[in-house]
Amino acid sequence: MDHQDGQRSEPAESGPVDGGPDEDRLFSEANAWHFRLQSDDVRPAERAAFAEWLARSPAHAHAWAGLQTLLHDLREPARAAYAESRIAPPRRPAAAGVRRLAAAMTILLVVGGLGVWHGPTLYQNAVADQVTSTGQRRTLTLPDGSTVDMNGDTALAFDYRDGERRVQILRGEAWFRVTRDPDHPFVVDGGAGAARVLGTQFSVRRKDDRTTVTVGEGLVEVVAHRNADGNAPWPDSVRLRPGESAEADANGLTGPRAVDPAVAFAWRQGQIVFRQQPLASVIATLNRQWPGRVILLNDEAAERVVSGVFALDRPDAVIDALERGLGMRATRITPYLTLLR
């Protein structure tokens, strides 16, 4: 899990391999290295550490080669196996085989090997000026003195030319503390809508084709972008006050509506807050905040409500609470895959 400064722990080292559990451990390390090397913020020192890990012994190289073979051979079977696991009772094949199939599925699902999320993310990262990976948070100071807190899995592009103060949020969520400048409005474009301010504090979240603006201090004008036919959705704009939120999508603007700042901005304090939220929504939120995936295999539990306040750097505490509070059972396949039944 990333902390505030974006630092990560390297995969644990291991000694010589004699087969059995040690071989499984090396395979898990290879899995962790593959996941880390796919990240957008991997550091040169980490690449050097991986090269050292790979050259440490023939067993390390063998584990890496075995993982790459599985990725090649199981791309389609992994997709089919996951689909079948949601409707059929689990069988009991050899434990090592289960672990390795699940590890391969982890990488395919999380890194984007199935092609579901990877394409748009690559494009967004290519055009962005600042990017955070899942679970990472970062604070930036802009040329005008304004500051930006980026949540995990967020991509931003900046345009400060010709006296403009414009930010494009390509995906994710960010909090803005804007330096007041009456002559140069500060605009955050979130796709379906844009927030326009002179000086205030607010957040903008962009997910798919929906843009959500929430105000912490001051006034924010939210403007819906016009449809492709040139007609403006109704209403065309709305003004938000502290503790209010609005959403823009293809159908126009909705809001203002009252929000609880303690919930909406909890991520800035390293917390995550759930108040009577469906379990499916909770899991979707967790997957935006942490590396890896939590997969719910019990569809009947998706609408069960969850309340609680948790630390973002303690994912195991959230899973433990779900097990105790809802009677769920968690199976941790690797550090990057948890199955919840």
All structural domains of the chain with their residue ranges: 24-36+43-65, 130-259, 270-340
Q: Is the pLDDT of residue 203 over 50?
A: yes
In degrees and rounded to multiples of 5, residue 28 shows phi and psi of -65, -40
Per-residue model confidence as pLDDT tens digits over 33-75? 776 676 656 778 778 888 888 998 988 888 888 877 766 654 5
Q: What is the pTM of this model?
A: 0.60
Looking only at the bridges linking them, the beta strands covering 293-296 and 337-340 are parallel
End-to-end Cα spacing for the chain:
23
Q: Is the pLDDT of residue 222 over 50?
A: yes
Q: What is the mean pLDDT of the chain?
A: 75
- pLDDT of the residue at 41: 63
Q: Is the pLDDT of residue 114 over 60?
A: no
239's tokens: 């003004």
Domain 270-340 matching CATH 3.55.50.30: the answer reads yes
- pLDDT of the residue at 82: 43
265's tokens: 């901005």
Q: Which has the minimum average pLDDT: 20-24, 60-64, 124-128, 219-223?
A: 20-24
Taking residues 190-213, report their average pLDDT.
88
27, 67 in Cβ contact below 8 A? yes
For a pLDDT cut of 70, what percent of the chain falls above it? 70
- Count the neighbouring beta carbons within 10 Å of the beta carbon of residue 184: 16
Using a 10 angstrom Cβ sphere, with 0-12 exposed, 13-18 middle and 19 or more buried, the burial of residue 35 is buried
- Fold match flag (130-259 vs 270-340): no
Q: Which has the minimum average pLDDT: 11-20, 100-109, 149-158, 173-182?
A: 11-20
- pLDDT of the residue at 246: 92
Q: Distance of alpha carbon 124 from its chain centroid, rounded?
A: 14
Radius of gyration of the chain (CA): 22
Only one residue has tokens 């990472």, namely 136
- pLDDT of the residue at 16: 31
Per-residue model confidence as pLDDT tens digits over 282-329? 888 787 777 677 888 878 888 888 888 888 777 777 888 888 888 888
**Topology (CATH) of 130-259:** Jelly Rolls (2.60.120)
Q: Which has the minimum average pLDDT: 18-27, 34-43, 142-151?
A: 18-27
Q: Is the pLDDT of residue 11 over 60?
A: no
215, 202 in Cβ contact below 8 A? yes
Task: Pick 227 or 332 by higher pLDDT.
Answer: 332
